[in-house]
Structure formats: structure tokens, C-alpha cells
Chain A
């Protein structure tokens, strides 16, 4: 944007001032209405999932458990390993593109309804209201005398917040270490030092972010807030104040009319500012602080109803619609996003369904390159790591090929039992007639296959080293 130093767009003047303002607590007035109900429903559902999911069992195993010490990730009966990192990347790609799609459709839906920062802030504000009352009462309390009732209320609020934070931290750790054991240890105060540390660390972060930082997280910490406008276009549904209809705003519209002045629908009651969790005035136009929570829509609709004007002075609308142009909800960029999501999701599902839950690592013994045994055969020593990533136990048979007459020394039918999720190390010697060794280092293959399920197999290459016969 170039500037000739004369004109600045209206409504942006406050931007500069914001840079220099000390932070002031935003006292939020409670709001009821369609979007408040949606937001509260989302809050209850999402918090319910967070606190509840850790307790659900699946096949006798915690349904969602990221077992860090064992380095295994249990997700509804499937077991993932650090080697399956690619799936996580695919999930992240899907999440990112979905975020772009929802943003281009209807602005900051994520921020307003689903972002953990919003959800936990709503929860903490609810607890605050429970103790201190609505926004106006909170302000009065803070500005009034600091007497026993003040300290009593503050203590009650912080006790509630801290208890909830502790529960949040506990649940968080419960996704990384079995939550039932954790609960037992917690009750008997028998927690390990690191578990204790992480419960308090995560709890403290929740307490700080949802209790104190709140909208500052969105304004200063969130990268998405700053680049989201790149995903907006003229057909994106955003929460806007209908300036044409509202202006000139007037607190006493009737008197203004009698005095021969024109008057818009906005009665300048200021409620849209009082309910805003980030403390902005939506009438100044789209601002990056707006998290799209729609609280101002709810409250303005109530006011419009009271004064007898049609609802929707503040509403979800598009730039095109505000200018009276036709709106296009389904447009190319939406189809492109949907296409990418479908593709990545399809690939993810396909590769999960067809993945071989068996991994074999071949480690050559480094003590000696090769030995000649008493039968005149050349021997190499290996350690095979057989990792059963399947949800069931399997018995595997191990064979070797790649050179003429190659076989596992001292074994005719080598089998190994590997429990689900276990790693078994098999030391073995491989012997070859020196006559069939054509080069110093030959590629051989270890064939490991499940006896009860022949398609569960891996052919893992390894190096066989021996003297070249002439």
C-alpha cells in the first residue's frame, strides 16, 4: 500500500493508538441468542470430547493413547509407530486445507467456535461470571473497595480456575500415560516427578491463557489472525455492520427525525462493543482482532427487535451482498479446497488400510566381516528386529534368499512369536557355499511372514559379505 500521507481509510485510526495502549481487561457482557447457543453447544461438545475421550476404552485398551515411553500410538484399535509419521503429516495437511476452506467460506469460524483458546476462554469467563456476576458487576468489583467480599470472590474464582486447570493438565497427561493408572496415582499422591511437572505446566498454561491472556493470545500470538485476510474474497461470509442502513447513528432517532435530520437504524447503544470478547467496535469495519464469535449479531438483533427495526443490522454477509451484487457461495476456490482435502484424505485412508503392520530391521554384526565354519561354508552374523505393529499377536517364519544355497545355520524352520506391539530381536547366522559367492558384498533378502496370515510379510534386504571365489 502506498501512501501520499493525506488520506487514511476511515476506521483505521484506532490501529495506531492500539500500538501504544496499555492492556486493559475487557469486561465482557453476557449475551444470549442463536449464535451464543451455537457457541455454547460447541464449547460443551468440544470440552466433553477433551475430558471424556481419555476415559474411553477400545478393545481393552485406552482408545486414544500416545504412549511415549513405549513409543506407540493407540488410536481406536490401530497402533501407530514413530515410523508412521507420514500419517500425521497427512492429517495436518487436511486440517490446514480445511481451515483455509472454512475461512474462505465464512471467515473465522474456527476462531469463533472451535479454537481451544476460544473454548477455554469461554469456559473461564463462565466460571468468572458464576462468581463475580456479569461484565458490569466485574468492573464494579475491580474498581470498588477491596474489602473482604472482594477478596472472597477473587479467591473463589481463582480456586475454581485452578481446579479446572489442574483437571485440564491431568487430562492432557492422561493422553500420554494410561489415565486410569494416572488417576489412581493422583489420588494416592504417588505421581512420578515428570507426570507431576507436566500436569502443573499444562495446567498453568491453561490458567494463564484462558484466565488472563484471553484475547491477547489471538491478537499477539496467533499467526492465523494476521494472514487470514489472504483467504478472504468478496464472497466470504463475514460479520459486518451494515453501514448504509445504520448510519448516521443516533441515540434518539425520533428527535433527530423531528429536527429534520436523517437517522439510521443504529441507536448507538454500544452493546455490540460491550459484548465483544476482544473489545473492538464492529462498526469500524472488519478488523483483525475480530474472532468471528458473532456475539454482536445476537445482541444487536435483540436491540433491533426492541426498537422495532428489522434484525440483521450486524450480520453474516459478504462484501458483494452488501453492495447489492449477487453472492456466490460455491466458487472455484471452494471446489479446489474440497478437491485437495478429498484427495489427501483418500490417500490417507487407502494407505492406512493397505499398510503392512510388520517391520523388519536387519542389523549386521560388526565384530567380524565373515567367518568360515568347520563345514567350509562362509558365515555372516545378523540381528533381525521383528516389529509386530498389528493389533494381534503373530507367529512369524523367517527365511533367507538371494544367493544359491543360502540358508540359516542350524535352523530348518525358524519361527518367532511376536506379541502385538512388541519387538523381538532374533540373532542368527547365515551360511553360503563359497562357490556361489560372486562378489565381495551381495544383496540377500530376509523373508519374514506371519504363519496365520501369509500376506503379512516383509522382504528386508541385507548385505552378505564373503571372499570372492576364483
Chain B
């Protein structure tokens, strides 16, 4: 791999689209897959009864399930993105002195 010049910090200069997409997209895909597997195993009408919302429609349950999954997977993706930033930024001036 050709080394990048030190003054260029890739994580700061990735296109905005790529940064947004790298959080929203993987979380969307895993949320969709999880929703399919989850509701293949559990009937939303059973769950709704158990949770005490017998009037909840199936469509509403699927929607809530999907967005619930998406919320948690996107939090996970956001944290991954956050922790994959270079650690030097944790210092107040974010300087590159140590390199």
C-alpha cells in the first residue's frame, strides 16, 4: 500500500456520503436480515398479545420491529465508526507531534 502523507487524515477527508453510508447502510442490511429471521420465528400477533398490545396490527409490529433493529444496529455502526478514528484526536489540539 502506498503510504499516505501524514498531513492527510483519511477519516476526516472521506466523502461525507461515504461516512453516512458506512453507518446507515450496513446497519440497514443487518436490520433487514434480522427482521426477516426474527419474524420467521415469532408471530407478531403472539408477541403483541404477550406485551399487552393486542390491538397492534401486524404491519405496525413489523414496522416497529424493523426500525427497532435498525436503531440498534445503527448505534453499533456509529460506535464502530467512532472508535475507528485515529486516537491522536483524543488530545485537545489533535496534533500529529508524535508521528
Contact = CB atoms under 8 A, between A and B. Distances in A.
B14 interface: yes
A198 interface: yes
Contacts of B4: 16
A221 interface: yes
Given A1-B1, A3-B1, A68 B15 contact: no
Given A22-B15, A216-B17, A220-B22, A68 B10 contact: no
B13 A192 contact: no
Given A19-B13, A85-B40, A5 B3 contact: yes
Interface string B38-70: 011101000000000000011110110000000
A195 B59 contact: yes
Interface in B1-25: 1-4, 8, 10, 13-15, 17-18, 21-22, 25
Nearest to B64: A194
A363 to B, nearest CB: 13
Contacts of A148: none
A69 interface: yes
A375 B20 CA distance: 73
B2 A82 contact: no
Given A3-B1, A194-B60, A220 B17 contact: yes
Given A20-B8, A23-B15, A82-B41, A68 B2 contact: no
B25 A221 contact: yes
B21 A220 contact: yes
Interface of B is mostly: helix
Given A69-B57, A221-B21, A221-B25, A19 B14 contact: yes
B2 A5 contact: yes
A8 interface: yes
Interface residues of A, number: 26
A216 B24 CA distance: 14
A21 B15 contact: yes
A262 B59 CA distance: 69
A335 interface: no
Contacts of B13: 19-20
B73 to A, nearest CB: 15
Contacts of A8: 2
B17 A194 contact: no
A198 B64 CA distance: 12
A25 to B, nearest CB: 12
A440 interface: no
Nearest to B8: A20
A177 B57 CA distance: 13
A71 interface: yes
Contacts of B22: 220
Contacts of B62: 68
Interface of A: 1, 3, 5, 8, 16, 19-23, 68-69, 71, 82, 85, 177, 192-195, 197-198, 213, 216, 220-221
27 contacts: A3-B1, A5-B2, A16-B2, A16-B4, A19-B10, A19-B13, A21-B15, A22-B15, A68-B58, A68-B59, A69-B58, A71-B43, A71-B58, A82-B41, A85-B37, A177-B59, A192-B57, A192-B59, A193-B60, A197-B63, A198-B59, A198-B63, A216-B17, A220-B15, A220-B17, A220-B18, A220-B22
